Every structure is written in C-alpha cells, then in structure tokens.
Amino acid sequence: MRIGLTSVFVDDQQKALRFYTEVLGFRPKRDVPLGTYRWLTVVSPEDPDGVELLLEPDAHPATRPFTQALVADGIPFASFAVDDVHAEFERLRGLGVRFTQEPTPMGPVVTAVLDDTCGNLIQLTSPAA
C-alpha cells in the first residue's frame, strides 16, 4: 500500500494552480473538467509519477470553517519536504510569499510555514544541519 493522492482545499482552483506551479514549482499532472470544478492535480518535478496533490475546491459547507479554524490557530494543513528550508524561505519570500513562521529548528528538522493564498497554511520541512 502507498499514498497515491492527497489534497488541499482551495478557494479558487485557477489561483491555486498558478501558486502551486509558478511559485512553489510543482508541475500540472491532471486537469479534467467536472462541471463547475476540475479534477486538478500537481506533482513534484522531482517525482512526476509520485504522489499527486489534488487542488480540491472548498465547496463543501464544512470545508471553509475547518480550514479557517486551522489558519486561525496557526496549524498547517499540509507539509512539504524541501532540501533546505532556509534557502526555500529566501526564494519564496523573494517572490512575495507571506510566511507565518520563519525557519525554526524543531529537533531533527527545520520548519517554516507559508500562506498559500488559497486558504491554507503550508509547512516546509528539511533536516536540521
């Protein structure tokens, strides 16, 4: 058994696609029209056949209160691994990304938390030096 797909709830699929590809660097994988919405996934360019991230519309009535509560409490919805959190923080900050937590040592890892502009906080992690 392995993970093939996971998702983040987004308030606008097109905006999310732009942020996750043009800013974070993921690559589009699937884009299937489904009425009002799309089955829209992205993947890591380092593992194009790996886990897909579904940019899932937050249309269900429970979704927005849930994600808003996480953001209000500063809790990331997802965590992405990077080689160097400090370098990724500088790169993304240079692109205008807003961070709610700068790189912070947390035992065996360093973490930072960013706002994905689509309703989520996303944690970045890398091994501590």
> Is residue 129's pLDDT more than 90?
no
Give residue-wise pLDDT tens across range 23-52: 999 999 999 999 999 999 999 999 999 999
Give residue-wise pLDDT tens across range 5-26: 999 999 999 999 999 999 999 9
Give domain limits for the chain: 5-127
Q: What is the rounded average pLDDT of the residues 65-89?
A: 97
Q: HEC profile for the chain? A: CCCCEEEEEECCHHHHHHHHHHHCCCEEEEEEEECCEEEEEEECCCCCCCCEEEEEECCCCCHHHHHHHHHHCCCCCEEEECCCHHHHHHHHHHCCCCEEEEEEEECCEEEEEEECCCCCEEEEEEECC
> What's the burial of 52, exposed, middle or buried (CB within 10 Å: 0-12/13-18/19+)?
buried
Q: What is the pTM of this model?
A: 0.95
Domain covering 5-127 assigned CATH 3.10.180.10 in the classification: yes
pLDDT at position 117: 97
- Token pair 């240079």 in the structure block, residue: 94
pLDDT at position 88: 98
